[in-house]
Amino acid sequence: MRYEAYYNLHKQCLSARPIGGRVQHYQFLCLSEAQFAVQPAGRQRVLQEQKKNVHAFVRGDLVTWGDHRVRAHSYDGVDSAVSVDFFRKHDGYQEITYNPYQYESFVLKHDESPIYQAHHAWVIGKHIFAYKYDTFGIKEDRRSTVA
């Protein structure tokens, strides 16, 4: 089932819901066939009001979810406790970030290349890690200007 997830600033956890369904809260998620989506109108509202709102999501099929203390499954050879450090050290994963004041899309943290989809994505609190990702439609100027 397709889910969309975002970091909930008020509850300090992930909020995720099946498309058209009820919001649930998690500490981590793994989504397959992940898409990184930014709603342009929502981003523009953030830039105008200088106040964050929910307008960026990771969408995908829910594979696993839970609390940081839970041991993960064996998904694509990953069989480890879910931790940010583990994914930062794993060769196949790249850390993803999004900041509406700097970027128009989600980007690879190490070189700021836009990213739009991945085979799967782990979302652990505010951290996102992509595996077998695609960066296409790359624009020359990757940073937006804020007036």
Percentage above 70 pLDDT, the chain: 80
| pLDDT in the model for residue 86 | 83
Q: How far is CA 102 from CA 43, 138, 142, in A?
A: 11, 15, 8
The pLDDT, as a whole number, for residue 137 is 42
Beta-carbon contacts of residue 64 (< 8 Å; ≥ 6 apart): 29, 30, 72, 73, 75
Closest CA to 22 of 42, 3, 36: 3
Q: What is the pLDDT of residues 3-58, one digit of tens each?
A: 999 999 999 889 999 988 999 999 899 999 999 999 999 999 999 999 999 999 99
**What pLDDT shows up at residue 59?**
96
pTM for this model (two decimals): 0.80
Contacts of residue 100, defined as CB under 8 A and 6 or more positions apart, other chains included, come to: 38, 43, 46, 47, 52, 55, 56
* d(C-alpha 107, C-alpha 31), whole Å: 17
